[in-house]
Amino acid sequence: MSGNIELLSTTLAAAKAEDRAALIAYLPAGFPTVDGGIEAVKAVIAGGADVVEIGLPHSDPVLDGPVIQTADDIALRGGVRIADVMRTVREAYEATAVPILVMTYWNPIDRYGVERFTAELAEAGGAGCILPDLPVQESALWREHAEKHGLATVFVVAPSSQDARLATITAAGSGFVYAASLMGVTGTRASVGAQAQELVGRTRATTDLPVCVGLGVSNAEQAAEVAGFADGVIVGSAFVKAILDAPDEATGLDAVRSLAGELAQGVRKR
């Protein structure tokens, strides 16, 4: 079975045709439980998310701040496995027909096996992977198998990326480019910053791929600001925090559904 890279591309193109940015939500698999995590993904989609990233919980998530680290720890203590990540992708995709990606560090894939991981992700209906710590120059094996199975390879660029480096990264990627709005780890912030807009401009000069911005967006006003210059707005920590702060699972689901609705309105006010 082929993966859903084409669904990802058409979804992002449809948002652009509506003169808006896409809303991309991030939630870790297995958080607060495997079943609860699947319901949370469905809730953010019901609220208005166009695309969802499923985090593969990792013991050393170098790009992630304390909120997502806490969620990863809960998932890992709960015994989450790669099979649970694949189940989350499958059930979320089958229930919603929305493109679902996995965001993961390289070590779990390397240990699991690239061919096995890509084949299982495609079979589950996944659209691709975001690989924040895989150097482009070491990505040939991954890209070969991802392309074979119809999966996007999304690389992360940062404000520190020089123009020549941006061109190398974007030439190797597919689906979209993940532009980190600032140097640092994930988390909610009072302001997204001017660095993001400059980075999007420099990145667009190297590629026709959509450029989506993450790190720091947590409310409708920030989403609207980023939607003014990016093709997609990526929100993670704010959704995770909404679940962490909720007194029970039902309240958490209501909270993420409501937040997704507010953010979906924000990306339409570019």
**Local structure of residue 195 (DSSP, 8 states):** H
Burial of 1 from C-beta contacts in 10 A (0-12 / 13-18 / 19+): exposed
3-class DSSP assignment, residue 189: coil
Beta-carbon count within 10 A of 221 CB: 13
Phi–psi pair at 29, nearest 5 degrees? -65, 150
- Nearest C-alpha neighbor of 34 from the set 179, 182, 249: 249
CA distance 224 to 239: 17
User: Tokens 């170098």 label which residue?
Assistant: 62
Catalytic residues: 53, 64
For residue 238 the two structure tokens come to: 């704010």
CA distance 199 to 5: 24
